[in-house]
Structure 1
Amino acid sequence: MQNSLTTQRVLSIDAFRGITILVMIFVNELAGVQGIPAWMKHMPATADAMTFVDVVFPAFLFIVGMSIPFAIASRRAKGDSVVQLNAHILFRTLGLLVLGFFMVNAEGGYNEAAMVISLALWSLLFYVGVILIWNVYTSLSKPVVYALRAAGVVLLLVLAWLYRGGEDGTETMTPQWWGILGLIGWAYLVACLWYQLARGRLFGICAGIVLCLGLYILGKAGIVKDVPVLGWIAGQAGHAIHTAIVLCGIATSLIVFDRKHAHSNDRRFLEVFAFALILVAAAFLLRPYYKISKIYATPSWAFYSAASCCVIFALLYWLVDLKRINRWTAFFKPAAANPLLTYIIPFILYALLRLLHTHFPTFLYEGVVGIVWSMVFAVAIMALVIGLNKLRIRLQL
């Protein structure tokens, strides 16, 4: 690597991650609320518009990118070889793909009547398997840890065998799409590999963003569909744009934290805002050709979102790391350190409610009451993570 980065956690990045997770839980719960303004929901695929809700997913991709240089620097400092480092990256990617694969099949395509157990129980057992495999065990012997993780793997295999889909109940689990976690996994993998190929150079990362945009344009142009060697590009346009957002996060980390350049804080802020302006300009120029759409993963949506993340992070960096106004970030710390656990808790809760044949009162999903409820729900989930951490339940891919 050609850059010099600390191997310690950066509080402003953790704060950004924690806030993003809180907003993510809030908007996911808000999605079921009726009678609220359109700007509090996802825009339709063809609307050529976006709301703050449409920025949550790219914000998480952006933060994944910001964390990559530090994670790689940390593992290299611990003595990992290139092979060990990339084995770790591949293992994390596989974990995200498996999680996304199971969660997507639990959302649709199933035939519950043909299954031996209810979908709610199937889902709960899936999350039990997730915890067994990816929990951080701190006080158990290695043989016990290996046994618990093996039990989790066996449980997931059994659940895959029990799953039934299709109208006649004869279909097995299928990758209908990769789910949010799976999409993050693919973008994370490609961005990590590109970061290493670019040897951590900012110019190389920016070249990667341009390359992703080029792949998207080429894929959408349709000229590659009839070329056997290039036909795969058409189906990877969305992944290319997601990867571009991750690379934007990497670029921002290098601008702010690469000690090799040792710029003043004023220079760092100027460069971050300049980078954001370049992204806005790119989005503006591309919008007439590729309308803003989160669903279609268009470059205009991606670059507007990444520019917003640059500005938000710059403000957090100034407040948390430079001005040291950071006591408030303590609430976000457990969730920021355990994003996977925080993400799956609502799904576990929903599956448990279905298993008990109950649900939250319907009045909680209407108008202003629904907005307040979604806020309370999000804060409660964040607090629950703190309690689970005390019970030594901590997930790490």
Structure 2
Amino acid sequence: MSTDAPPVEPEAHDAPEVAPDPAVLPKVRLDSIDVFRGLVMFLMMAEALRLGAMARNFPGSSIWAFLARHQDHVAWTGCVVHDMIQPSFSFLVGVALPFSIASRMAKGQSRGLMTAHALWRGLVLVLLGVFLRSVGREQTNWTFEDTLSQIGLGYPILFWLGWKSRKFQGWALAVVLAGYWLLFAAYPAPGPDFDYPAHGVEADWPHLMTGFESHWNKNSNAAWAFDAWFLNLFPRPKPFEYNGGGYATLSFIPTLGTMILGLLAGGLLRERRPPWSKVGLLVVAGVLATALGWGIAAAGLGPIVKRIWTPSWTLYSGGFCFLLLAGFYAVVDVIGLKSWAFPLRVIGMNSIAAYCLAHLVENFIVDAFRTHLGPDVFRAFGAEYEPLARGVATLSILWLILFWMYRRRLFLKV
């Protein structure tokens, strides 16, 4: 726990091949980054609203159906709002990195000390993800698909790239995405006799792909094969066979690609150029990246699948992240409209705390309400609205905890 207020997410530098000069680069904290991060974390915390249950309670409502659809992940290909939470969080790790390196250099920290801290941060994030995935389990659940673990696995490499030129960073992005695509394309596609039900997939699952795209089918791809070996190296109550959602450890590689996109965006924000020029370049980058990701999928060269973080997904979702960052930067930091975003900023400045609280204390909060206000406290507006009332109460308490920490300048850092 810290009493200063640097960003909770890793940060770095658009840097040339040599270290940035903190006396030349402006030492400014962009509120837009905190606000964007706050929106991302709010969407994650808003799972407490149980919009899917509300849609079931009101089966004739198109509004509840729409909201419920965007609060759940797509089954395999495609994208809804909820699918953008993890790539946005990862993207912002890269965006923040340039500011962190410059800030640490201004404090006199050596590159060696910063490197050691980056390695430590990566390890802690990996283990924190494992811890959160182990809550309620009979033993440690050694799995690495949690957002924090995915970021932690790639963070030391991202930090190393933070000291390289933008051209080098761009080539690194290309190598990461091309290499990950080649890994899947080279792995044998499942044949007609592949036993999908034995791997957690219905034989007639409508999302199974054919032809070249079948290389990216659920629990029959290169990343699944890696986990079938790798995760069984760890103690587990029974051998690992497949992940029910199709998630995979190796997704940290293209997730690194998402963080590199953020690193490039953060480097642009650190440049001495007119603010509206930065907004324009972010928009152009966003449109191009999204179009390229969509184009790859449309050409049948690789589907847009968030669960295994395909290269087309990295570009497609990364483009939207550029556009969102451009919007927040324009409104909050260029135009200067900040007051409306204060609730989001409270969350965004303590995102690690928000992430952990959302995963650990929801049931405690709900039980406390029922203990002190009665078992039917959430039915005050009718049984149909119970999931929503419960969610609003939970979100309110979570935000008040974060606000209390904000007022006392208590920011959980890794």
TM-score normalised by structure 2 residue count: 0.69
| Deviation of 1:24 (Å) | 1.6
The question of whether the paired residues in 2 share the 8 Å contact of 1:64 and 1:249 is answered with: yes
How many correspondences in the alignment?
A: 323
Q: Partner residue of 2:58?
A: none
Q: Partner residue of 2:294?
A: 284
From 115, 136, 154, the equivalent of 1:187 is 154
Q: Partner residue of 1:58?
A: 87
Work out whether 1:67 is the aligned partner of 2:96.
yes
The question of whether the paired residues in 2 share the 8 Å contact of 1:219 and 1:237 is answered with: no
Q: Give the helix-richer structure, 1 or 2.
A: 1
Partners in 2 of 1:10 and 1:78 — Cα distance?
19
Residues 391 and 303 (structure 1), Cα distance of their counterparts in 2 relative to 1, 3 Å cut: same
| Deviation of 1:375 (Å) | 5.1
Q: Partner residue of 2:110?
A: 81
| Deviation of 1:379 (Å) | 4.4
Work out whether 1:378 is the aligned partner of 2:395.
yes
Work out whether 1:257 is the aligned partner of 2:259.
no
From 316, 334, 344, the equivalent of 1:322 is 334
Work out whether 1:9 is the aligned partner of 2:37.
no
Q: Partner residue of 2:5?
A: none
| Deviation of 1:70 (Å) | 0.5
The question of whether the paired residues in 1 share the 8 Å contact of 2:287 and 2:323 is answered with: no
| Deviation of 1:291 (Å) | 1.9
Comparing 357-366 and 180-189, the one that deviates more: 357-366
Residues 73 and 31 (structure 1), Cα distance of their counterparts in 2 relative to 1, 3 Å cut: farther
Q: Partner residue of 2:310?
A: 298
Q: Partner residue of 1:308?
A: 320
Q: Partner residue of 1:90?
A: 119
Residues 276 and 234 (structure 1), Cα distance of their counterparts in 2 relative to 1, 3 Å cut: farther
Comparing 370-379 and 71-80, the one that deviates more: 370-379
| Deviation of 1:347 (Å) | 2.9
Partners in 1 of 2:293 and 2:301 — Cα distance?
10
Partners in 2 of 1:245 and 1:365 — Cα distance?
43
Q: Partner residue of 1:43?
A: 73
RMSD over aligned Cα, in angstroms? Answer: 3.2
Q: Partner residue of 1:267?
A: 277
Partners in 1 of 2:159 and 2:48 — Cα distance?
28
Q: Look up the SS of the partner of 1:309 in the other structure.
A: helix
Residues 5 and 247 (structure 1), Cα distance of their counterparts in 2 relative to 1, 3 Å cut: farther
Amino acid at match of 1:384: I
| Deviation of 1:27 (Å) | 3.2
The question of whether the paired residues in 1 share the 8 Å contact of 2:74 and 2:83 is answered with: no
From 337, 340, 362, the equivalent of 1:350 is 362
Partners in 2 of 1:365 and 1:94 — Cα distance?
47
The question of whether the paired residues in 1 share the 8 Å contact of 2:70 and 2:82 is answered with: yes
Q: Look up the SS of the partner of 1:7 in the other structure.
A: coil
Amino acid at match of 1:240: I
Work out whether 1:210 is the aligned partner of 2:174.
yes
The question of whether the paired residues in 1 share the 8 Å contact of 2:126 and 2:152 is answered with: yes
Q: Deviations over 1:167-198 (max 9, x none)?
A: xxxxxx241234221112123222112222x2
Residues 215 and 381 (structure 1), Cα distance of their counterparts in 2 relative to 1, 3 Å cut: same
| Deviation of 1:311 (Å) | 1.1
Residues 257 and 104 (structure 1), Cα distance of their counterparts in 2 relative to 1, 3 Å cut: same
Amino acid at match of 1:83: G
The question of whether the paired residues in 1 share the 8 Å contact of 2:347 and 2:402 is answered with: yes
Partners in 2 of 1:193 and 1:369 — Cα distance?
49
Residues 248 and 75 (structure 1), Cα distance of their counterparts in 2 relative to 1, 3 Å cut: same
The question of whether the paired residues in 2 share the 8 Å contact of 1:45 and 1:294 is answered with: no
Residues 346 and 8 (structure 1), Cα distance of their counterparts in 2 relative to 1, 3 Å cut: same
Residues 91 and 256 (structure 1), Cα distance of their counterparts in 2 relative to 1, 3 Å cut: same
Work out whether 1:30 is the aligned partner of 2:50.
yes
Partners in 2 of 1:380 and 1:239 — Cα distance?
33
Amino acid at match of 1:20: V
| Deviation of 1:28 (Å) | 5.5
Partners in 1 of 2:314 and 2:262 — Cα distance?
12
Partners in 1 of 2:168 and 2:175 — Cα distance?
10
Amino acid at match of 1:56: I
Partners in 1 of 2:384 and 2:270 — Cα distance?
43
| Deviation of 1:395 (Å) | 1.5
The question of whether the paired residues in 2 share the 8 Å contact of 1:65 and 1:191 is answered with: yes
Q: Deviations over 1:195-248 (max 9, x none)?
A: 22x2xx222222222111012112212359xxxxxx999846411211111111
Q: Partner residue of 2:191?
A: none
The question of whether the paired residues in 2 share the 8 Å contact of 1:68 and 1:250 is answered with: yes
Partners in 2 of 1:11 and 1:61 — Cα distance?
18
Residues 375 and 5 (structure 1), Cα distance of their counterparts in 2 relative to 1, 3 Å cut: farther
Amino acid at match of 1:221: A
Residues 308 and 368 (structure 1), Cα distance of their counterparts in 2 relative to 1, 3 Å cut: farther
Work out whether 1:339 is the aligned partner of 2:343.
no
The gaps in structure 2 that reach 5 residues or longer are 1-14, 56-63, 189-221, 227-248
| Deviation of 1:40 (Å) | 2.1
Partners in 1 of 2:266 and 2:382 — Cα distance?
39
| Deviation of 1:394 (Å) | 3.5
Partners in 2 of 1:50 and 1:365 — Cα distance?
33
The gaps in structure 1 that reach 5 residues or longer are 112-164, 166-172, 225-230
The question of whether the paired residues in 1 share the 8 Å contact of 2:302 and 2:312 is answered with: yes
Partners in 2 of 1:69 and 1:365 — Cα distance?
50
TM-score normalised by structure 1 residue count: 0.71
Aligned-pair identity in percent equals: 21
